[in-house]
Amino acid sequence: MPAPDLSRGAPSHGALAGLRVIDLSRVLAGPLCTQMLADHGADVVKIEPPSGDETRLLGPPFDEAGDAAYFGGVNRGKRALGLDLARPEGRAVLEALLKDADILVENYLPGTMERWNLGYEEVLSVRHPRLVYCAISGFGADGPLGGLPGYDAVLQAMSGLMSINGTPESGPTRVGVPIVDYVTGYNALTGILLALAARQQTGRGQRVDVTLFDTALSLLVPHAANWLCSGRTPGRLGSAHPNIAPYDKFAAGDGELFLGIVNDGQFRRFCRQVKREDLLEDPRFGTNAARLQHVDALRGEIQRTLAAFKVEDLCRDLMRSGVPAGAVNTVPQAFAQAHVAHRQMLIDQDGRRAPGIPVKLARTPGRPGLPPPRYGEHGREILAEAGFDRVAIDGLLASGVLKTTNDHKERKR
């Protein structure tokens, strides 16, 4: 990878220092991907349309500048440029920025870039052969669903994820976090890094194609494998596991905990810890396969036993004996755990608080960069770096091709 070029404002830290990213994405999957690139040193230029990234409006809560907390959660470390790409002058600005870009990330409806004469195969790969082009979409560009819009919850429904989430009484239920969008962001990051590794060998970039549809289907572990092997349609088990027992949520005397017992050794240690060695003599519970066959009886025995324990004490003693167990926490309780601070998973700097960086590199660690940008905040400096003089920048502003923070404030009113 190239050495850092500090003259163009790129961060000087991290494994990706010196790389420039043009981020045309909005909402969650794309912005999460590019935030992770920024966390590890890439210079990310976020280009937003005149309407802005939709997540700026997805609140409350809103920050002091009027942007939703949702937006701040996936856009730190970036510089922002407001640009009307529907106009030829805006596309000319984008072309100028691509001259020294390494990566472009977009999540437009398939065909949008081609209509703007900026398609990868016929145009950008020829003009910018080293460019890694990442397209994120709902279903891809072709096929029976090609070109159609996709959103996380819709894909949860279509892929079968909702069908296995919930209880028989609740019916199919959306997973409480946008898991399809989130993992799509990670898949996009993985694809980009693979393409950069290949570029080191070939000198050429390539197209990275990531869809919510593919990601959602890939999340069906182990349910898809179980169905493909047995022919039996997976159902809703609440918090339980289709292949492991006891692997479920239980009530103790003062709250709830989750037991993650995946092998016979852990089950033996659990029984001894809670003084239920008698369960070890019961042939119904001797192996995982037997426990699955008699899971309701086992659950009843465990539930009656745990009623005499306090969650905190029980989880501590079980974990120390090698039995995975954790309290069912609220979000505030989760971030209050001492291990959060130890793992640096809560950023608290300059009045900003956010979840930390989950990937730890020993020699080139990432770190959170700039605060989430205001709309169009860095337009002048980004265009100046690209070679535009003051007269040209003023002309773009006057014509409405280049947008500013004030333009966005007027729109929000």
Q: Domain limits of the chain?
A: 6-219+372-412, 247-251+256-327
CB neighbour list of residue 395: distance below 8 Å, 6 or more residues apart: none
Tell me, what's the pLDDT at 405? 80
75-to-30, 35, 94, 161, 322 alpha-carbon distances in Å: 10, 6, 20, 27, 39
Tell me, what's the pLDDT at 410? 55
Question: What is the rounded distance in angstroms from the CA atom of residue 362 to the CA atom of residue 153?
Answer: 36
Question: Where do runs of H (alpha helix) occur along 259-378?
Answer: 264-273, 288-293, 295-306, 311-320, 331-336, 338-342
Question: What is the rounded distance in angstroms from the CA atom of residue 100 to the CA atom of residue 186?
Answer: 25
Query: Of the listed 43, 67, 181, 248, which one is catalytic?
Result: 181
With beta carbons less than 8 A apart as the criterion, state whether 371 and 347 touch: no
Class of domain 6-219+372-412: alpha beta
Tell me, what's the pLDDT at 5? 39
pLDDT by residue for the chain (413 residues), tens digit each? 333 333 344 455 899 999 999 999 999 999 999 999 999 999 999 999 999 999 999 999 999 889 999 999 999 999 999 999 999 999 999 999 999 999 999 999 999 999 999 999 999 999 999 999 999 999 999 999 999 999 999 999 999 999 999 999 999 999 999 999 999 999 999 999 999 999 999 999 999 999 999 999 999 999 999 999 999 999 999 999 999 999 999 999 999 999 999 999 999 999 999 999 999 999 999 999 999 999 999 999 999 999 999 999 999 999 999 999 999 999 999 999 999 999 999 998 878 899 999 999 999 999 888 899 999 999 999 999 999 999 999 999 999 999 988 766 655 54
Catalytic annotation present for 43? no
Output the six-digit token pair for 322.
């090698």
Tell me, what's the pLDDT at 411? 53
Return the exposure string of 355-372: e unless at least 16 CB atoms fall within 10 Å of the residue's CB, then b: ebbeeeeeeebbbbbbbb
The CATH-assigned architecture of domain 247-251+256-327 is: 2-Layer Sandwich (3.30)
Output the six-digit token pair for 332.
């505030």
Return the H-helix or E-strand segment holding 258.
strand 256-260
Tell me, what's the pLDDT at 13? 81
Same fold? 6-219+372-412, 247-251+256-327 = no
390-to-5, 376, 380, 405 alpha-carbon distances in Å: 23, 16, 8, 18
Question: What is the rounded distance in angstroms from the CA atom of residue 211 to the CA atom of residue 108?
Answer: 12
